Amino acid sequence: MPRSYSLDLRERIARYVDNGGSRHAAAAHFDVSVSFVVKLMAAFRQTGCLTAKPEGGWRYSKLDPHRDFLIRRVSEKDDITMSELAAELAERGTIVDPSSISRWLIRNGYRFKKNIAGQRARPAGRGGRTPDMDGPAAKNAA
C-alpha cells in the first residue's frame, strides 16, 4: 500500500493554493495528482488540518449485527454448514455468501475441524494391500 504524502508537502501545497495558485497548477508544480490537491484543500477548509487520515482501522461487516444469532446457531448445531447459515440469514433479510460467514467466524475465534466422517478412511499414501506371494497370481505364474 502506498504511503501518505508528508506533512511538509501538504503544507507547501496548501500555502501555494492559499497564495493564489490554482489546484491544477499546484498539482503540476508539486508533481501530485489534481484529485489529491482538491481533496486536500477541501479537507483543510473543512477541518483546518492537513495531516493524513489514519490508515487501516475497524472493518465493518454486515454480519456483526447478527453476532448473537450466529454464535447461538453454531453452538446449537455444531455441524451446521455455511450454506445453511446463509439460508437462515436470508430468511432474516440479510443476503450473504457462505464464504463470508466462514471468514467472519474465523475472525471471531471459531475454528472448524473435520468430524470423524470427514476424515480419511485409511492412511495417506499408497492404498490397498500388497498382493500375497502365495495368492492365485503367484500360483498361475509357476
Q: Under 8 Å CB-to-CB from 69, ≥6 apart: which residues?
A: 88, 89, 92
Residue 27 CB partners (closer than 8 Å, separation 6+): 33, 34, 36, 37
Burial of 41 (0-12, 13-18, 19+ CB in 10 A): middle
Measured CA to CA, the distance from residue 34 to residue 18 in angstroms comes to 16
Domain residue limits, the chain: 7-47, 64-113
Q: What angle do CA 61, 64, 67 make, to 5 degrees?
A: 150
pTM given for the model: 0.45
CA dist 85 and 97 (Å) reads 10
> Tens of pLDDT along 80-102?
889 999 999 999 999 999 999 99
As a residue count, the chain comes to 142
The whole-number pLDDT of residue 27 equals 96
pLDDT band at 59 (very low <50, low <70, confident <90, very high): confident
